[in-house]
Structure 1
Amino acid sequence: MKNSWKIYSRDMRNISKNWVAAILIGGLIVLPSLYAWFNIKASWDPYGQTDQIPIGIVNEDIGAEVEGENIDVGKELVKTLKKNKSMDWQFTTRDKAMDKVEYGDYYAVIVIPKDFSEKLTSVVSGKPRKSEMEYYVNEKINAIAPKITDKGASVIVNEISSKFISTVNGVIFEMFNNLGVELEKDLPDIQKFENYIFEMEKQLPKSYELIQDSLGDAKKAQTVIDNAQNKLPQAKDVTNQGLQTIDDTTAILSEGEKKLNEMAPKIKQDLKKAQQVASDVNNFLSDVNNVEVDFSKQEELNKLLDERVDEAIGSLATVEEALKQLKQLNNDEQNNGNQEEEQPSEAENPSGKEEQQEIIDRAITNVSTLKDALKEVQGNAQEISNFANEKKDQVNSIFNDLQELSANTNNRIGDFLTEYEEEIEPTVRKQISSAKETLKNGRAILVDIKKTIPEVERILNSTEANLSDGKDMLEYMEGQYPYVNEKINELADKIRNIQGETDINEIIQLLQNDPEAEKGFFAEPVKLNKNELFPIPNYGSGMTPFYTVLAIWVGALLLISLLATDVHDINSYTARERYYGKLFTFFSIGILQTLIVTSGDILLLDAYVAEPGWFILFGIIISLVFMSIVYTVVTVFGDVGKAMAIIMLVLQIAGAGGTYPVVLLPSFFQKINPFLPFTYAIDLMREAVGGIVWDRAIHDLLFLLLFGLAFLILGTLFKERINRQTHKLMEKSKKAGLFH
């Protein structure tokens, strides 16, 4: 150890005697401090200058109209941003903004589209649509700037959201307040509704019974309507047939009346003619009976009589035929009348038709009797001719009988003519006229029935449709009864429970509120009260531990780069003596570097440090550990050790969590983090800056001391052995003329 101290003393004398060495050493002492101070000052308050970051604002919003009021959110936002100094807001057009953000004059551009207000106010339409803003950022300009502009955009969105939420909720709570007032006013109606629900609960079973009865009646009514609809075609056919029959009968009667008009004069003429013939025959027979009969002329007489009688019989035959036609017309009318009796509205007179029939039959009988009488006269005349020669004695008697018969015939024809003129023809005409009038009335009734049938059919169809709908509704109500009954019972039970648990007056009081107070609440429903356990006033002070530790390591690298890590007369000392002798020199310079950087952080930069004394002391301990590590790897491994020290620096800057939390680092750096001296050195310095938690501070000190002890043991035990190998490599490298 004596020789080691000797080496250290010699180095100190050389520095003090050689002003060039002293200047160089002084530079090495101060230079690491500059590295720390410049970085700390540069990052002193980076977020305090965001008002100098230009961000373009393009407002294309055309506004919207809600309940008769114009709303222009974009315009209001521009007014708000003009008062906001957190960013350098630039209000411009889209084309100009896009050119500037692309060129780099603007860090970002926010575009408020023309439908921004329209979408924002769509919440009142029942179909809300989210409003969107276009955000363009040039991330090429700077790595941190986009994060700051993102924050600015988020501030705008939060500002709009907060105002919108407060406004909407203010309206909602104003509605609640009005609702509470209305509820208070409608409290009697609410109580009436409760009573109504209880009454419904009580009456629903009876209603269900009525629905079932009504459904049964509807089914019966449906059957009746179906039967009536089935009968309608038959009623149409019967009505049409009745009309056709009436029209046919009327035509037959008209034809009969026409024929009667045509035949009546002829019938009267024929009857008169027959009467005249009978009279002539009677006169002739009287003349014959009064004169002497010349039987020799009986053939001539018989011929004359026969001609007269044939003529009378022919006339009577014509009359008989006419009467038979009348009888047939009367029968046709009567048959049609029997058919029409099926119509409920037809009125008949069967007694008049039977009387007419009897008159016609009696007339036909009379005419037939007359014919028979004339034939009898003709027969008797023939008999006179046949028996004139044999029964001349009876001639007079026969003539008398013939005369009497002809006289009776004449009288009968005359009576029949009178009866025909006075009874038969008027009666027939009257009956035909009556029948035509009856048929006319019946036809009018049938026409009305025919006109009524479509209306009846329409009513039946409409009734059937309505009845079907009613039936479906009744069936639906019947099917829904269990559900409705269950829900009414549940509602009644809930009302009873609410009445038992909640007073509606309390609900009314709850709804009645101060809308403005509620609006303010929802504008900021949660207020964050920040409690800083270890307050650090600025970002630069927060970064002081990292840059200070980094400067201490850099100071060690500068020393091993410029100062020799071994003595020139290596043969005069052992490897261990050389190792410790030079280590004391490096320790001394490292302590001076640390004193400068730590005291400069406090005095020159005015960095916030909660425990200045411990900050300086922790810095010295860290410097001793770092110097042990860097000096050992270089003095043991030579130039390879220098590369190892640089590699260790690079890994520690990335993986020690000096700038970003360890949990945000890639998995590789998270894994190596516990094995890096920077991890514990930065945490130890943070304890001094923010406020010491000694459990953590002791934990970090122990690990740092373990790192330092490990490398001291490495240098003490393996320097000589490893140097034998590295010496050869150093000789080789020197021969290259590139390394010292």
Structure 2
Amino acid sequence: MIAIRLAVSEIRRISAGTLPKLAILAMAVIPSLYAGLYLFANEDPYGELHRVPAALVVQDRGATTTNAINGTTEKVDYGGEVAERLLRGDGGFGWVETTEGEAESGVRNGRYDAALIIGPQFSEELTSSARFEPERAGLTLITNNANNYIVTRVAETIVGDVRDTIATQVGTVAASSFLDGLSVVHTDLTKGVNGAQELVTGSSRLTSGTAELVDGTATLARGAEEAANGAARLESGAGELATGTRRIANGATTLSNGLEELKRRTGSLPADTRKLANGAQEVAAGNAKVAAVGDDAAEVAGAVVDQFRAARASLDEGLDSLVEQGRMTDAERDALLALFADAEVPVDAVAAQIESAADRLDALSRGSSEVAAGTEKLAGAAPVLTRGVRKAASGGAELASGSARVDRGAQTLARGAGTLADGTEEVANGAERLATSSLALRKGSARLETGTSELRNGLQDGLRKVPDLDKTTARDTAETIGDPVAVKEDTLAPAGSYGAGLAPFFMSLAAWIGAYVLFLLVRPLSSRALAANGPATRTALGGWIPPAVVGLIQVAVMFTIVRFALDIDPVYEVATVALLVIASMTFVAILQALNAWLGEVGEFLGLVLMLVQLVTAGGTFPWETIPEPLRSLHWLLPMSYGVNGLRQTLFGGEAWIIVRDVSVLFGVFVVAILLTALAARRQKVWTPKQLQPELVI
């Protein structure tokens, strides 16, 4: 009750007189003016874009397209279609068709806020893909940020919509042509399947015929090979025969020549053999005599050796006796024996040679006797041999003549057999090649049959995969391909308009401004209460209630104007009013605490804090886009919770978010009141600074 009495007393003080009442009234409507004017001005700016002048330059000369299916041509003018759509009001701005020079100068001097130029090759470039000479069509957008930056962004959005519309239209036409081509492909594939079936039938017959051909050529190859083998054997035998007859002929000739030579040389053979027989008898007699002399010499040599060895034995005994008698030393004895032994070697050798010579002479004597006997027989047989040689020579000549004739016949036979063998070999090789080729032909025809079957099956599969669309389905499909994505907006908490979307921010900001201006007139703490040394909390509440009451009037007027004059209909009206009241009470408490602690400096800090919250509250762009360190202040300052809470109550957001924001604001309110109470406790004692402040605003 004391706090209320203090509040009533303060209200009477500030409302005493006409001007103070007018001042309170002005303070009560300041938030409404601020929020109302801003929201009214920004209620639907996009709906008023037709008032923004923009230049349109159309230079497109059009293009001629050719239907790839039937070859017909068609004239298209995409630039003219774009211009027609923009000029009839579908392009947002108030478009005015003009020249390129006027458009550029108009954007430069501010007569136009933007200009769109459609170049002369626009339609040609859009249809270039159909000619497989793709070029991207271009639109030239001229803007001037010196006129208005926001208009530049809006112009870019509008041109983007125009581009999307053109892309949809061109894509639909291209898809329609593509589907028409598929229809033709389906028809041609049907013909291809029928033709492939005929190929399969023909290749099957070919495979059967080649199988019979393979059997016939195999039989021919076997017969030709047997003939070639026989001819080869004949050639080999004929060759061997020719070689044999050649050798026989040569041998017969040689034999005939030898027999003639033998006949010539054996003509004197009987007389010569007789002479030879007589000489051999004489030699045999002489050799017998020489052999007898040799035997005598051998006997004498053997006697000499025996005598030499007997003398050696006697010498050994005599020398041993002399050694025993001491008349000779062992060395002298050995020396004499060595000399005797040296003399014994040639004696033995000579004796051996004589005996060997005697043996050879005996053998010579026996051989000469045999030779003499043989020559005697030869002399008796020589006349008979001579007559036989003459007959053999005559037969050898006849043999040589006959074998020569046989040889000539065998050579002729060999040449004929070789020719026959070569011919039969060529026939066999040809038959083998024919058999191999026919086998390859059969394999090829089998592969051809398999390939044509695969071709037929593949064409059938392809035919099943190629759609055969009717005109309606083809049209709908082309439109879907040209514009495949439809964006379905599902706004969970719709604001309704651009102005309504900004209302939470401007209403929260207006509540802070309203609280701020109140302390230009209202004192944060009652001087009477401080002088009366009343409880600090009561003093704080007594100072807070008067501006809080005016704050309630402010939010009531502001809500009435926003709700009924601007037609912004909150989803949760009661919650919206309650949140505005709590926000106003909290803002008043914060500014009271700043003023109570710091006086004029606190009042200035209240202005600074408002400017900071203009940025950190996230009223326009998302607060996440704010750079640091301001982004970190978003959840630390109270206006953020006021803006966020009003979004939930105005647009129908989550209830738990409303509860959270209200709880935070109430917590800040309590802290601010406690800080003000602490300041009231300190100000019960007057200081020189209070009597004479350093700064007065």
TM-score w.r.t. the length of structure 1 is 0.56
Counterpart-to-counterpart distance in 2, 1:50 and 1:34:
25
Counterpart-to-counterpart distance in 1, 2:635 and 2:590:
16
Deviation string 1:510-560 (CA, Å, 9 cap, x unpaired) is 566633222222332222222232233211122211111111000011001
Aligned match of 1:571: 531
Q: Secondary structure at the match of 1:128?
A: coil
Q: Which runs of 4+ in 1 moved over 6 A?
A: 193-202, 491-494, 496-500, 722-727
1:623 equivalent among 573, 576, 584: 584
1:82 equivalent among 81, 87, 102: 87
Residues 1:521 and 2:454 aligned together: no
Residues 1:506 and 2:464 aligned together: yes
For residues 732 and 182 of structure 1, do their structure 2 counterparts lie closer, same or farther at Cα, with a shift above 3 Å needed?
same
Aligned match of 1:403: none
1:714 equivalent among 675, 683, 687: 675
2:172 equivalent among 148, 155, 166: 166
Aligned match of 2:195: 189
1:695 equivalent among 631, 641, 656: 656
Deviation string 1:120-156 (CA, Å, 9 cap, x unpaired) is 2221232311111211101111232112111221122
What is the correspondence of 1:352-367 to structure 2 with a 5 Å cutoff?
none
Counterpart-to-counterpart distance in 2, 1:536 and 1:525:
29
Counterpart-to-counterpart distance in 1, 2:452 and 2:657:
63
CA offset at residue 563 of structure 1?
A: 1.9
For residues 723 and 13 of structure 1, do their structure 2 counterparts lie closer, same or farther at Cα, with a shift above 3 Å needed?
closer
What is the correspondence of 1:454-469 to structure 2 with a 5 Å cutoff?
none
Q: What letter is aligned with 1:507?
A: K
Counterpart-to-counterpart distance in 1, 2:680 and 2:201:
102
CA offset at residue 624 of structure 1?
A: 1.0
2:574 equivalent among 604, 613, 628: 613
Q: What letter is aligned with 2:96?
A: Q
What is the correspondence of 1:96-111 to structure 2 with a 5 Å cutoff?
96-111=102-117
What is the correspondence of 1:57-456 to structure 2 with a 5 Å cutoff?
57-67=56-66, 68-85=73-90, 86-191=92-197
Counterpart-to-counterpart distance in 1, 2:684 and 2:56:
67
Q: Secondary structure at the match of 1:109?
A: strand
Q: Secondary structure at the match of 2:692?
A: helix
Deviation string 1:698-739 (CA, Å, 9 cap, x unpaired) is 1111221222222222222345448979972782435xxxx3
CA offset at residue 186 of structure 1?
A: 2.9
Residues 1:678 and 2:636 aligned together: no
Counterpart-to-counterpart distance in 2, 1:29 and 1:624:
14
What is the correspondence of 1:728-739 to structure 2 with a 5 Å cutoff?
728=689, 731-733=692-694, 739=696
CA offset at residue 24 of structure 1?
A: 1.7
CA offset at residue 187 of structure 1?
A: 2.2
On the 8 A contact 1:194/1:495 being kept in 2, the answer is no
For residues 176 and 200 of structure 1, do their structure 2 counterparts lie closer, same or farther at Cα, with a shift above 3 Å needed?
farther
Deviation string 1:354-409 (CA, Å, 9 cap, x unpaired) is xxxxxxxxxxxxxxxxxxxxxxxxxxxxxxxxxxxxxxxxxxxxxxxxxxxxxxxx
On the 8 A contact 1:180/1:512 being kept in 2, the answer is no
Deviation string 1:64-90 (CA, Å, 9 cap, x unpaired) is 333354433222322332333432111
Counterpart-to-counterpart distance in 2, 1:197 and 1:646:
97
Residues 1:635 and 2:596 aligned together: yes
On the 8 A contact 1:180/1:511 being kept in 2, the answer is no
Counterpart-to-counterpart distance in 2, 1:101 and 1:158:
25
Counterpart-to-counterpart distance in 2, 1:632 and 1:700:
21
CA offset at residue 599 of structure 1?
A: 2.2
On the 8 A contact 1:171/1:515 being kept in 2, the answer is no
For residues 103 and 11 of structure 1, do their structure 2 counterparts lie closer, same or farther at Cα, with a shift above 3 Å needed?
same
Counterpart-to-counterpart distance in 1, 2:63 and 2:207:
50
Q: Secondary structure at the match of 1:65?
A: strand
Counterpart-to-counterpart distance in 2, 1:537 and 1:192:
70
- Identical columns (%): 22
Q: Secondary structure at the match of 1:135?
A: strand
Aligned match of 2:613: 652
Q: How large is the RMSD of aligned CA atoms in angstroms?
A: 3.5
Q: What letter is aligned with 2:542?
A: G
Residues 1:530 and 2:489 aligned together: yes
Counterpart-to-counterpart distance in 2, 1:128 and 1:88:
33
CA offset at residue 192 of structure 1?
A: 5.5
CA offset at residue 43 of structure 1?
A: 0.5
Gaps of 5+ in 1: 203-484
Counterpart-to-counterpart distance in 2, 1:642 and 1:698:
30
Counterpart-to-counterpart distance in 1, 2:195 and 2:686:
104
For residues 719 and 14 of structure 1, do their structure 2 counterparts lie closer, same or farther at Cα, with a shift above 3 Å needed?
closer
For residues 42 and 91 of structure 1, do their structure 2 counterparts lie closer, same or farther at Cα, with a shift above 3 Å needed?
same
Counterpart-to-counterpart distance in 1, 2:206 and 2:127:
43
Counterpart-to-counterpart distance in 2, 1:639 and 1:716:
18
On the 8 A contact 1:56/1:89 being kept in 2, the answer is yes
On the 8 A contact 2:533/2:684 being kept in 1, the answer is no
Counterpart-to-counterpart distance in 2, 1:543 and 1:78:
34
Aligned match of 1:46: 45
Aligned residues: 452
Q: Secondary structure at the match of 1:144?
A: helix
On the 8 A contact 2:103/2:112 being kept in 1, the answer is yes
For residues 593 and 3 of structure 1, do their structure 2 counterparts lie closer, same or farther at Cα, with a shift above 3 Å needed?
same
